Amino acid sequence: MGGRQGTADTGAGNPAQSFVRIAAPVPWYSDVMARLAPIFLTSLFMTAATLAQTPPPLGDSAKRVIGSWEFSNADRDKKCTATFSGERTAVGFKVEFDANCAGQFPLVADIVGWKFPDNDLLYLLDSTGKALVEFSEVEDGIYEAPTPGIGVLFLQNAAAAAGPPEKPPEELAGNWLLTRGAGAPLCAFTLASTAQGDSMAMTVKPGCAPSIAQLNFSQWRLDKGELVLVPGRGAPWRFEEVEGAGWRRIPEGANPMMLVRQ
């Protein structure tokens, strides 16, 4: 009886000693977790960093502009090619310009990327992410951007830049009157089909309004379906065809000028 009582006192009668036996594995488990925790946290942070660096997918608006576009001013006497790609840059996506583009448009030297959020504008960005040009779509395949200090810039895809089929020069050769609204004629021109450089010759007849005569028009050409009169100084005058009425100067003012057959 005495031996059995002694054994009972040692096992169940000493709670502290029993607790030590049960908790003995805890330091080993804690040591393993302490070793694994840095590995787990490092893996977690690397995964988060990788996800943060994954660029968002291109939206539908952006996908439509990937490729080569004509980059020009309003008169298209300055133009080059801009090529948009889906390659990611620090500020958006990659855009490249022809080698001669910076000579015509100095601001393109600072353009390093582009972005086009859906239902927004098409932005050309500098290295800090600042928008240097903001294009809005005005027609299918044609974007324009009024740009301070430069004027209106255009982006046109190949189909839009080609324009409608041009009339043969012989069809437009002959005598024309320049009028303003329903008023008296301002000037009379003769358009020739004779080549003169990259345009064709034209003659200004006597009796023109002084404001027209002083421009010294001497050439004309067809460009993307528009009729262009080239003055001796200043910007070319552009006209669009109005079915059955002649050619109307663009952009159109409150009292538009028209070219009509004489």
Q: What are the tens digits of pLDDT across the range 22-32? A: 445 455 445 64
pTM of the model: 0.49
Domains, the chain, with CATH or none: 60-162 (2.40.128.10), 169-261 (2.40.128.10)
Taking alpha carbons only, the member of 49, 73, 220 closest to residue 146 is: 73
In the three-class reduction of DSSP (H, G, I as helix; E, B as strand; rest coil), residue 140 is classed as coil
> How much is the pLDDT for 107?
95
What share of the chain in percent tops pLDDT 70? 74
For 184-208, write each residue's pLDDT tens digit: 799 999 999 988 888 999 999 999 9
Label residue 7 by pLDDT band (50, 70, 90).
very low
Q: Provide the mean pLDDT of the chain.
A: 81
Distances in Å between the alpha carbon of 122 and those of 104, 112, 113, 114, 157?
A: 21, 14, 11, 7, 14
Label residue 251 by pLDDT band (50, 70, 90).
confident
For 75-126, write each residue's pLDDT tens digit: 888 999 999 999 999 999 999 999 999 999 999 999 999 999 998 999 999 9
d(CA 257, CA 262): 15
Q: Would you state the structure tokens that stand for residue 33, as one six-digit string?
A: 């977790």
> How much is the pLDDT for 54?
45
